[in-house]
Amino acid sequence: MAETVQSVDPRTGQAGPTYPASTPSDVRVAVTASAQAVGSPAWRDDERRAAFLRGAAARLREADGEIVALVQSETGLPEGRAVGELERTCRQLEAFADLVDAGDYVDAMIDTADPGAQPIPRPDVRRMLVPIGPVAVFGASNFPLAFGVAGGDTASALAAGCPVVAKGHPSHPGTSEAVAACLDAARADAGLPDGAFALVQGPGNDVGEALVDAPAIAAVGFTGSLAAGRALYERAARRPEPIPVYAEMGSVNPVVVTEGALAERADAIAEQLAGAVSFAAGQLCTKPGVVLVPEGASGEAFAQAVVDRLGAAGPQVMLNDRLRSSLGDRVQDLDADGNVQRLTPDGGAAEPGLRFDPLAFRAPAAAVRASRDLLEERFGPVVLLVTYASEDELLETAGVLEGQLTATIHAGAQEAELRRSLTDALSERVGRLIYDGVPTGVAVSTAMHHGGPYPATTAPAHTSVGMTAIARFLRPVAWQNAPQDVLPPALQDGNPLGIWRSVDGQLTRD
C-alpha cells in the first residue's frame, strides 16, 4: 500500500483527510526536472520569473477561501491569523518580483583596467551574483504559508533564479498541496518549464533525506527545531559535494526589563509580554521565552501581572501532538529543577484537541548562569522569568546567553548608560535588537534581519525574512578582461539593463 500523509485537526484531535506521500524516486524525478530548468532560456528571463511570482500571489488570493479553511483545519490557527499570513505570503512574492524587476540584486561591480596601477597593472575585472542552482525548501510547522511551500525561502530562491523543490510540512499536507497547485498554475501561465517548482511530501525522514542527498540540489532553506536543522546541516556536509544549509532553528529571545522601566510602565510591559508569550500558543520562533526582571517588590508585582494575564488567555491550541508532547517534557524538567518556581497552575488543559495552558516559571539569575539548560527554547506558551539583584548581575547574565534571533530591552528614561551597556552586550549575541516592544511580528522589509549567531541559525550572515534573503541563493562570479559579447548584460559597458552598478568604486547607472 502506498504511504500517505495524515492530516489532523489540532482543535479536536480528530484525523482528517490523507494525502499521497512522495517516494525517494519521486524526489529524484523532481530534482532532475529542476536541474533541467536551470538551463532553460525562459527560466533565465527575469520578466518571466517576476510574472511567475506575481501570478503566484494572484492565484493564492483567488483561492483564499479554500486555503484559509485548510490552514485552520490543519494548524488550529484562528481565521484572522490565517488570512493575515496568506496576505503576507502574497506580498512577499510581489516584493521579490519587484526586486527582480529592478535588477540591482545582482550587485554588479566593474573595476576598469589601469595599466599604471602599482605594484602591478590592474586588469579589467567585472563581478556579479548568479544563481546557485536548484534549492530544497523545507516548510515550517508554525507558518504554513509565510514559511511554507510558497513562503520566504521559496520566493527568494525563485527570485534569485533558482528552481525550488519544496517539502511540505507533514502537519499540513492539504495546505501544502493547495498552495503548490497555485504556484504550478502561475508557473505555467508565465511559460516557465515544469522543473521550476515542485512539491514533495512525506511523513518521515526518507523524503527529506533524499532531497538533501540529490546531487543537483545546491542549497537548503529550513525553518524548524535545532535538532532537525542540525541533522540537515550535518547530512549536507557529508555529501561528496557539501552544500550550504540556511537553517533558522529558534531562539529564547531574551527580554530585559529594568527597574526604571517598571517604575514607568510596568502594566504596559506585562500586557505586551503576556500577549507575545500566548499569541499563536507561543509557537513562534520570536516568542520571548526568557525575561530578566529585577528582584524586589516591583519585580514581584510585575511577575504577578504577567501570570494574571497568561491565565486570562486560557488554553492554547498547539500545532501538533509532537510539539505538545515535547513541551510537556520540557515543563516537567522545569518542575523537577529545585531552583525553579512554578508561578502558574498545572498545564495540559483537559479540553478537546491539542491544547496547552500558558505557564510562567521563575528562577534566580545565578541558577541560569550555572545551568545553561534553563536557557533552552520551550516552543509553546511558556516563559521563564529570571530575577537579578543588580545591574552588574544583569550584565553578567546577559553574557552567558547563546546566539539568539532577537533580544529586547525595556529601560527607563533615566537609564541611558545601562541601555547602552545592554545594547553592547546583547548585540554580540543576536541578529535583531528591539527597544520598548516585543520581538514577535517580523516586518518583511529591506533592512530586516531575521537570523543570528548559532544556535539560532547555521548562517548568521544571512536572513530568512526581507529582501536580502535572496543573497543566500546567489554566488559571485568575476569576469577578467572579458570581451563585451560574452559579458552578461548587467556587466556590459552600455548598462543595457539600467541598473545601479559600482564602477571603479562609485555607484552609478551610467
Domain shared by 201 and 267, yes or no: no
| Residue 348 belongs to a domain | yes
Angle at 305 between CA 300 and CA 308, to 5 degrees: 125
Q: What is the mean pLDDT of each run of 10 residues along the chain (510 residues)?
A: 89 96 96 97 97 98 98 97 97 98 97 96 98 98 97 98 98 98 98 98 95 98 96 98 96 98 98 97 97 98 97 94 95 96 74 92 97 94 98 97 98 98 97 97 95 98 97 98 98 97 96
Residues recognised as catalytic: 248, 285
Domain shared by 224 and 270, yes or no: no
Domain shared by 217 and 351, yes or no: no
Domain shared by 418 and 269, yes or no: yes
| Residue 110 belongs to a domain | yes
| Residue 15 belongs to a domain | no
| Residue 117 belongs to a domain | yes
| Residue 273 belongs to a domain | yes
Contact 477, 490 (CB under 8 A): no
What is the sign, positive or negative, of the torsion defined by CA atoms of 65, 71, 76, 79? negative
How is the beta sheet containing 135-138 ordered, strand by strand? 197-200, 164-167, 135-138, 219-223, 245-248
Tell me which residue range forms the domain holding 426: 255-435
Domain shared by 83 and 224, yes or no: yes
- Could you give the CA distance from residue 389 to residue 383 in angstroms, rounded to a whole number? 20
Domain shared by 313 and 194, yes or no: no
Contact 166, 8 (CB under 8 A): no
Residues whose CB is less than 8 angstroms from the CB of residue 91 and which lie 6 or more positions away in sequence, other chains included: 57, 444
Query: Which pTM value belongs to this model?
Result: 0.96
- Could you give the CA distance from residue 405 to residue 440 in angstroms, rounded to a whole number? 11
- Could you give the CA distance from residue 217 to residue 214 in angstroms, rounded to a whole number? 6
Contact 113, 464 (CB under 8 A): no
Domain shared by 217 and 145, yes or no: yes
Which among 101, 159, 95, 104 is positioned nearest to 446, based on CA atoms? 95
Domain shared by 288 and 327, yes or no: yes
C-alpha cell at 502: 559600482
> What is the residue whose three cell numbers read 529543577?
337
Which among 258, 280, 267 is positioned nearest to 442, based on CA atoms? 280
| Residue 171 belongs to a domain | yes
CATH code, 213 = 3.40.605.10
**Inter-axis angle of helices 46-62 and 64-75, nearest 10:** 70
Domain shared by 378 and 281, yes or no: yes
| Residue 507 belongs to a domain | no
Domain shared by 206 and 81, yes or no: yes
CATH code, 413 = 3.40.309.10
DSSP for 152-201 reads HHHHHHHHHT--EEEE--TT-HHHHHHHHHHHHHHHHHTT--GGGEEEE-
- Report strand pairing: 125-131 vs 109-111: antiparallel
Count the domains in the chain: 2
Residues whose CB is less than 8 angstroms from the CB of residue 440 and which lie 6 or more positions away in sequence, other chains included: 276, 279, 284, 286, 287, 288
| Residue 442 belongs to a domain | no
Domain shared by 299 and 429, yes or no: yes
Domain shared by 189 and 264, yes or no: no
